[in-house]
Amino acid sequence: MNVRQLEVLRTMIRTGSVSETARRLGMSQPAASKILGAIEQDLGMSLFSRANGRLHTTREAQDLFPEIERIFGDMASFRQRAAELREGRAGEVRIASAPVLGTLLLPAAMSRFGAENPGVRFDAVVMPTPEIIERVRSNRADLALVQAIPDDTLVVAARLCHGRVVCILPPDHPLADRPQVTPNDLAQERIITFHPGAPTGDRIRETFRDCGVAMEQTVLTNQAFFAASLVRNRVGVALVDSLFPFGEYLPELVVVPLEPEIRLSLNALSSRLRPLTPVAQNFVRTLATVAAELVGTHPGVLSPERGN
């Protein structure tokens, strides 16, 4: 039995009239009668009986009606789900993020997008950048949030906003009231920063060398939050990227931009070989919106992507 036959049977049970069934479904009365007869023959039972010139549903037809309604309810749910997937309001978004970006941007974007699109599921992991890039290449992530853009023709990057390197200081530090600090200002400081080989850490060391300043690296780490926690415990001062929300998690610390500026981009990566699903495309737009809002709430350390 096909969907059209079920539609005729459902309408006939509801209306009790072949002519009304034909009218509602835009077909001739003989065609409707033929379909009903074929259904009864296929099921091997009578579904209608005639009395006083009218058709009446049999007990068997009445017992079948809830099942017919369930089938049409499932079909409606199927169509609704397909529409949500087509329009990017349902489905799954697989995301791999660098730790600091996952802390700053991703939770806010997921919260907003999930509230507006409750049919969307997220699969989000936080890991080092090389593993993130490999996830995109191997189709295990739809999107990646990273700072560095890989030299890879298979990966497409959308720049969301810019950050910069900042110095994290205790509130009573002599440099805490400065609008900016320089390598010369930090020449005698015990500095906490990223390992050699980390893009941000290498650029910080290069900047100090260019300024002719020897940097006393007290602690090397891979986590901006851990570096800031060390500052809170008076281990030293930290040079890290500005993409971590220090004001929310460690409000007692002071964030001062480093000059000369070391600019860092916040990027959403995807595969060039695998187009983004509609839901992933919509989520990228939410990421861009949240990134733009963060620029306004983190003045001096975040800036908009030029051209976006």
Tokens 């390598």 -> residue: 183
Residue 285 Cα distances to 71, 112, 278, 302, angstroms: 37, 11, 11, 18
HSE value, Cβ hemisphere, 13 Å, CA-based, for 276: 23
Alpha carbon distances (Å) from 211 to 118, 163, 183, 206, 259: 52, 21, 7, 9, 10
User: DSSP strand E in 80-211: where?
Assistant: 90-97, 119-126, 143-146, 155-169, 190-194
Domains of the chain, each with CATH number or no CATH: 3-86 (1.10.10.10), 90-161+264-304 (3.40.190.10), 163-262 (3.40.190.10)
Per-residue DSSP letter, 200:
H
> Helix or strand or coil: residue 49?
strand
What does the radius of gyration of the chain's CA atoms come to, in whole angstroms? Answer: 32
Per-residue pLDDT of the chain (308 residues; tens, 9 = 90+): 788 999 999 999 988 889 999 999 999 999 999 999 999 898 888 888 877 767 788 888 888 888 888 888 888 777 766 766 676 666 888 999 987 777 778 888 999 999 988 888 899 998 888 888 888 888 889 998 887 776 666 678 888 888 889 999 999 999 999 999 999 999 999 999 998 888 788 999 999 999 999 998 899 998 888 999 999 999 999 999 877 777 778 889 999 999 999 988 888 888 888 888 888 888 988 988 888 787 666 655 667 765 44
Residues ≥6 apart with Cβ < 8 Å to 1 = 39, 42
Instruction: Tell whether pTM > 0.85.
Output: no
